[in-house]
Every structure is written in C-alpha cells, then in structure tokens.
Copies of this chain bind each other. A is one copy, B any other.
C-alpha cells in the first residue's frame, strides 16, 4: 500500500478508536511504523491528514450508496447493505459521527458532510418515489422529507451509545423504521 494511503487508514482507525480528542500524529506515524517527519512529508499539517481521512471515510460510505437490484427491491437492499456495513465496518459509523460533530465547527468538513448527506437523501427520495408508485409504501408523506427523516434516524441509531454490547440494537431499529414506512 502507498505510504500516503497507509497513513490515512491508520489515522482513520485511530480516529474511530479515540475520537478527535485523542488523535495524535505521533500515534498515526507509529501505527504505520514510520517517523513523524515522514508523516509530515506527506501531510504538511494535521489538518491535511484529517482531510485525507474525510475523503477516505466519505468514499467508503459513498460506495454503499449505489444499491443494485430491481427498482422495487432497491430500498430493501439499501437497508440490508447498511445493516451489513454496521456489522462489518462499525468504525465507519464512529468516524462519521466524529465528522458530523466536527462539521459544526469546521466549515470545510461541514460542506463535505452535507454534500454526502444530500446525495444519500436524494437517492433515498428517488427510491421512495419508486416504491410509492409500486404501492410498496404505506404513507403519503413527501418523499424528500421522509428521506431526510430516514437519514436523521440512521445517523441517530448509529450514534447511540453501544447498548450493553447488543449489536442487534441497530439492526432492530432499522427493521422498525422499514416497517413504519412500508
């Protein structure tokens, strides 16, 4: 793997593990087994490194936003994909949470997070419209507002404190939400 990529991935892992509060450039370098100066060779400042992490995380997430399958199945598939991601790459959601909080204080990150949210929401709205046409949806609510609500709910579900290590808590909530709209 490229040094640059290794460093970003290490920073990503440490961010998930300790949050921005505990993210240290030294630890990132150490995790890759490299001198601090080497880190600064690739990322002149900590900020630049963080931008790298943002790009990496958003890329990871974006890759889950292109559900395949028959139109009517897409919404279900998307939810299933999110459940799988929650199981297999929980760090991603922790990082997303950290970024969401930081977005309040960092305009650049805020813009990126909002942009991804908007894409996600637009995709959901489209799926909802599709599903509505097929009568697979029980509510007549505005698809855009409903999509915004789903995004908020999912973010909230993932941010909630780990419930006595019940990994199925998120799973259950996703299913409840699915049932509520379908």
Contact = CB atoms under 8 A, between A and B. Distances in A.
A160 interface: yes
Given A102-B19, A172-B145, A180-B180, A117 B156 contact: no
Interface string A150-175: 01111111011111100001001100
A157 B180 CA distance: 18
A181 B153 CA distance: 14
Contacts of A177: 149
A114 B163 contact: yes
Contact of A159 (B18, B114, B145, B155): B155
Contacts of A101: 19, 94, 97-98, 101, 159
Q: Is the interface of A mostly helix, strand, loop or mixed?
A: helix
Nearest to A161: B103
Interface residues of A, number: 47
Interface in A108-141: 110, 113-114, 117, 139, 141
Given A18-B105, A22-B105, A98-B101, 7 more contacts: A19-B104, A20-B20, A152-B156, A152-B157, A154-B156, A156-B157, A180-B181
Interface of A: 17-22, 94, 97-98, 100-105, 110, 113-114, 117, 139, 141-142, 145-146, 148-149, 151-157, 159-164, 169, 172-173, 176-177, 179-181
